[in-house]
Structure 1
């Protein structure tokens, strides 16, 4: 066990989130416990409670880290609509293959539904902000139509989020490559001047 004086270091939070990801993959969301996360992270339960009030808050932080991490891992390849659409499709493809994110969507739909139908989560806000910035830039070069960049970014989020969530449903019709092509086509059509 780590000493109390060391339990506020930033890497402890990362270890806890890594342990939570490992638990999600091993047990599914519903069977994840703070006790098991603490054991895997090598910290006490109070150390976790100092950062997150409960398992749901910790899982929300885990999803935020994973989603924002994917956004960082898929850099923009320039400015303009084509680069923006390519980045959004790249992020969507990576998220569709993220075991932790998809485990949450499939094993705990009630948890995921909060961020699908009830409120925007932190990661969704970050995604909207990033896409809105790129839309603004693309509007300046004329490759994206006029309109409120934040509203347009929110619509891009809805289109893409729906694609990620429903990909399994349409897999017999749209394999991964076809899905990416159709998502790009949809986003290009929506954003085109």
Structure 2
């Protein structure tokens, strides 16, 4: 099968993001440069620059890809509120174990804080859209309370994001299983 130019562009973009993940884990956020990413991806620096203006932009795109992939990788275990909460909790656990996401969260707080306290990133907007769509369906079946699905989804994002970013802080009190149990309880109560 012949590859189209667009397929090649996607493959190059994926190689660059994979290289960025590898650099981030191996070198830490402070030492990741576009040159290092290009070298690891086997492409020229201008090839990377055509897609992203700097290494922080590559890392932001990488985070979007990782977080969105975590959601898409887990199939919906059913319909309704309990199934949706189960999926959100499973995605949170997966993200808590994602080496790349945790590297940024714990070792690049200035970058992480942009998406925690200043503005929503692409992955957050995407997750709100995905969760809102499922919430609307759960509302139609009567398992989720009335309210604007996007507002409910945004609050679910805040609750879950807080559990992810603070998991290490409360680990002496809430181990992984307990954290997941309490997160599920909170989300279920909020959406009931």
- Matched with 2:149 is 149
> Offset of 1:9 from its aligned partner?
2.1
State TM-score, norm by structure 2.
0.96
The number of equivalent residue pairs is: 188
The whole-number CA distance in structure 2 between the counterparts of 1:90 and 1:174 is 16
- Matched with 2:46 is 46
> Offset of 1:64 from its aligned partner?
0.4
The whole-number CA distance in structure 2 between the counterparts of 1:156 and 1:145 is 13
- Matched with 1:91 is 91
Q: Does 1:191 align with 2:154?
A: no
Structure 2 unaligned residues grouped into runs of 5+:
none
1:1-193 map, 5 Å: 9-192=9-192
> Offset of 1:78 from its aligned partner?
1.6
The whole-number CA distance in structure 2 between the counterparts of 1:100 and 1:9 is 23
1:119-154 Cα offsets, whole Å, 9 max, x none, are: 000000000001101110000111000000000000
Contact 1:7 1:47 in 2 (8 A): no
> Offset of 1:30 from its aligned partner?
1.1
> Offset of 1:166 from its aligned partner?
0.1
Q: CA RMSD in A?
A: 1.3
The whole-number CA distance in structure 2 between the counterparts of 1:57 and 1:35 is 14
State TM-score, norm by structure 1.
0.95
The whole-number CA distance in structure 2 between the counterparts of 1:157 and 1:189 is 15
Structure 1 unaligned residues grouped into runs of 5+:
none
1:162-183 Cα offsets, whole Å, 9 max, x none, are: 0000000000000000000000
